[in-house]
Each structure stands twice: as structure tokens, then as C-alpha cells.
Structure 1
């Protein structure tokens, strides 16, 4: 290939810029021209495409968000929208595309692949819900953001002797809630992958209160219910004073951790290597610290799995 494109799509995640940087510099190192698509698939359809050079990605490895900007597009889900994108890439001479994003972004890359245009998916989402990789770009940073918030909220919970409900992101996956809850010493963690008993949670809170514990931290994944909804259940069941913190989009922002910068650099470069080998229609990932790639069409048919042993451990340690 002589020319490739790169875009970021869907929700932004810390480390996307590091991945874009890796794609651009790895390609230029191999004498390949790189074109940045601005605004995700919407920008692809409208032709918002610009050639990138080494300077275009200078001083971005440490920045959160995405310099290519991002958007969701209903039109690109249609054959007509996808054809618009392909025509724009042909117009610019782009022969392969690196797509950095989550589930929806992968589906767009899958559609292009099925129409004969080679794409490579790079997992960029804080949710950590992409099959075929242990970690997605942005998960570690979001996790540390949540842990920092839990530590701060615990100070207030202790001072006022209250139960705090902390609602975290993750869509339909409980990875952020589980790992942050375990690392933050939460008394209770609610995740979509496991059922919970209100009676059991109430009993645990009352037991802790009975031995002199004056505060509790409960982490709720947004895929289970809202923090406000769960706080109401707690108050009705225990009569304990509760407060709710919805961390929201602050979890997506901030400078990426060293882990995410290294992960993004490795995955972005690997995506270019696959295109160099004429291996389109792939999705890159990492397993046991080794780079892997899978068929992007097959990967979306798999279900994301979560390590329920961690969930069991969190319950054992929160007695």
C-alpha cells in the first residue's frame, strides 16, 4: 500500500492520540502516506480528509481526547453512507483504513471490509468491552480516574458517616466498576454480569454498621441501574443516609497513563504492519502482553467476558 487513512470514532478515550501518532509515524517510517479523517465516519462521508506528516502528530501522545475528533453517524450504517465513504477514500487514493474506536466503530469497519475495502480495527474505548483483547485503549486511564474519585469520596463519606453510591460508566460491561471497586476497597460492587440481592447488600451494610463502621462505598455500573435509583432502594431498605456521585464523562478525559500510551503505540503500529502485509479485515488486540489480531467480522460475533473470580474476591474482601 502507498496510502492509508486513520480515523477515530464513537466515544473518545485517553490514548487515542497516542494510537493516531503510532499509525502516522509507523506508516511514514515505511514510506507510506497517511491521511487523517476528521470527525469519524461523518467526516469520511463528507471528505473531511487531510494528509498528515510527522509534525501533525507531534506533542499529542500525552493529550486526552482525539485530535481527529469523533462523532457517531446513523447515515454510515446504511449502504449508501458506506459507499460515500468508499468513494471519498478512492478520491484521495487511500487503499486501507485504520479505525480506532469501540463496538460501533468496529461495525463500520466490518461493513467496509465486507464491501472489499481493507480495514484494521484498533480497540479504543474506556469500557474494555471489545472481544479478542484483554485491554482496550483508555480503560486503564479511566480506571485510575475512578479510583482517584473513590479515594476522595471516601474521605467525605468517613467525615459525615454516610453511604456513598458511585455510578461509573462502562455501558453493558462491568469492567470499570469491578476493577475500580476492588482497587478502591468498595464494600459493594454492582455489575451487569452478576445478579445482586438487595437483602444481602442491606445485611452487609447493617453488619458493618453494627461493628462500628460509619461509612460505606458502593460502586454501581451504569449497565445495572442509575446511582439515584439504587440509592433510593438502599434508603428504603436500611434507612441509612446516602449520597450519590455520578462520575460521568470525566472518566473519558485526562492525560493517558503510561500503560495506555504504550498499549496505544503498540496496537497502532501493529495495525499498520497488517496493512503492509495486505491483511485487511483484522482487529488488533493484546493477550498476555502479546500482540494478536483476529478476523474483524468474527470478533463482533463473540461475547465480551469478565473475570468473575475478581467479583468473587471483591465480595470476600468486603466482609
Structure 2
């Protein structure tokens, strides 16, 4: 291939810019032209495409968000919308496309692949819920943002001798809640991949109080319920007053960690290599610190699996 495109789609994630930078510079190093598609699939349909040079991605590796912007696009879910996108790619002479994003972005890449247009998916989402990779771009940064918030909230919880409920993002995956809860020393973690026992939670809280514990932290994944809903349930069950903190979109912003910058650089570069090898319809990932790639259709069929051993450990350490 002598000309490829790159777009970011879906929710933004810290490290997306590092991935875009890697795609552009890896391609140019190998004498391949790169075109940026702005506003995701919406921009693809509307032809919001321009050539990117080395300087186009200068000074962005440390920035959160995405230089190419992102947008939801209902039209691209239709065959007509997809054909409009393919027509724009052909009009610009773009032979292959790197798609950086989450589940919805991958489905768009899958649709293009099924219509004979080569795409490579790069997992960019804070939720860490993309099959075929142990880690997604943005997860580590979001995780550290949540841990920092837990540490600060714990100071207030201790001062006021209260139980705090912290609601975190993750869609239908519990990775952010599980990893941050374990790292932050939370007494209780609720994830959508496992049922919770309210009686057990109340018992653990009361046991802590009886041995002189002055505060507690409960981390709730948004895929389970909202923090306010859980606070209401806890009030009804144990007449326990709590305070709720919803971290919200703060988890999606900020300068990416070193881990996310390196991961994004490796995955973005590998995506270009695959296209240069004439391999489309792939999804890149990392397993045991080794780069891997899967058929994107097969990857989407894989279930997301949370580490339940880690979840068990969190309970053992929060007694």
C-alpha cells in the first residue's frame, strides 16, 4: 500500500494521539502517505479528510483526547452510509484504513472489511473491554485517575468517619472498578461480571466498624447500577448514611501515562505493518507483552473476560 488513512471513533481515550502519531510516522518512514479522517465515521461519510505530514503529529504524544476528533455516527451503521464512506476513501486514493477506538469502532471496521475494504482495528478505550487484547489504550491512564480520586476521597472519608461510594465508568465491563478498587484498598467492589450479596456487604461494613474502622470505600461500576441507586439500597438495608462521588468524564481526560503512550505507539505501528503486508480485516492487541493480531470478525465474537481471581483477591484483602 502507498496511501492509508487513520481515524479515531467512539469515546476518546488518553493515548489516542500517541497512536495516531505512531501510524503517521511509521507510515511516512516507509514512504507510505497518510490521510487523517476527522470526526470519525461521520467525517468519513462527509469527506473530512486531509493529508498528514510529520509535523501534523508533532507535540501530541503527551496530549489527551484525539487530534482527529471523534463523533458518533448512526448513518454509518447502514449499508448506504458505509458505501458513502468507501466512496470517499476511493476518491482520495486511500487503500487501507486504521481505525482507533472501541467496540462500535471495530464494528464499523468489520463492516468495511466485509465489503472488501481492508481495515485494521486498534483498541482505544478506557473501558478495557475489547476482545483480543489484555490492555486497551487509555485504560492505564483512566485507572490512575480513579486511584488518585480514591486516595483523595479516602482523606475526607477518614476525617468525617463516613462510608463513600465511588461510581466509575466502564460500560458493561468491571475492569476499571476492579483494578482501581484493588489498588485503592476499597472495602467493597461491585462489577457487572459477578453478583453481589448485600447482606455480605453490610456484614463486612459492620465488622469493620466493630473493630474500630472509621471509614469505608465502595467502588461501583456503572454497569452494575449508579452510585445513588446503591446508596439508596444500602440505606434501606442497613440504615447507613453514605456519600456518593460520580467521577464521570474526568476518567477519559488527561495526559496519557507512559504505559499508555508506549502501548499506543506499539499498536499503531503494528497496524501500519499489517496494512503494508496487505493484511486487512485484522485487530491488533497485546498479550503477555507480545503484540498479537486477530481476524477482526473473530475478535468481535470473543467474550470479554474479567479476572475473577483478582476479584476474589480484592475480597480477601478487604477483610
Provide the TM-score with structure 2 as the length reference.
1.00
2:216 counterpart of 1:216? yes
- The answer for the alignment partner of 1:228 in structure 2 is 228
Check conservation: 1:206, 1:238, Cα contact below 8 A: no
1:157 aligns with 2:157: yes
Q: Residue deviations 1:141-191, cap 9 Å, x none?
A: 000000000000000000001100000000000000000000000000000
Gaps (5+ residues) in structure 1?
Answer: none
- SS of match in other structure, 1:300: helix
- 1:26-41 equivalences under 5 Å are 26-41=26-41
Tell me which residue corresponds to 1:258. Answer: 258
Bigger mean CA offset, 234-243 vs 142-151: 234-243
Q: Distance in 1 between matches of 2:242 and 2:158?
A: 12
Matching residue of 1:16: 16
* CA distance in 2 between partners of 1:275 and 1:2 (Å): 10
Matches within 5 A, 1:183-202: 183-202=183-202
Structure 2 partner of 1:307: 307
User: What pairs up with 1:112-191 in 2 under 5 angstroms?
Assistant: 112-191=112-191
Contact 1:61 1:261 in 2 (8 A): yes
Counterpart position of 1:298:
298
RMSD, matched Cα: 0.4
Alpha-carbon distance in structure 1 between the residues aligned to 2:91 and 2:241: 62
Whether the 8 Å CA contact 1:21–1:60 is kept in 2: the answer is yes
Measure the CA separation in 2 of the matches of 1:236 and 1:208.
20
SS of residue matched to 2:301: coil
Q: Residues of 2 paired with 1:56 and 1:246: CA distance? A: 36
State whether residues 102 and 130 of structure 1, in contact with CA within 8 Å, keep that contact through their aligned partners in structure 2: yes
How many Å separate the matches in 2 of 1:81 and 1:279? 24
Shift of 1:240: 2.1
Contact 1:267 1:291 in 2 (8 A): yes
Deviations 1:46-101 (A, max 9, x none): 00000000000000000000000001110000000000000000000000000000
For the 8 Å contact 1:162–1:240, the answer to whether it is kept is no
Separation (CA, whole Å) in 1 of partners of 2:210 and 2:232? 21
Aligned to 2:111: 111
CA–CA distance in 2 between the matches of 1:306 and 1:226?
Answer: 20
Aligned partner of 1:62 in structure 2 is: 62
TM-score (norm 1): 1.00
Matching of residues 47-86 of structure 1 within 5 Å:
47-86=47-86
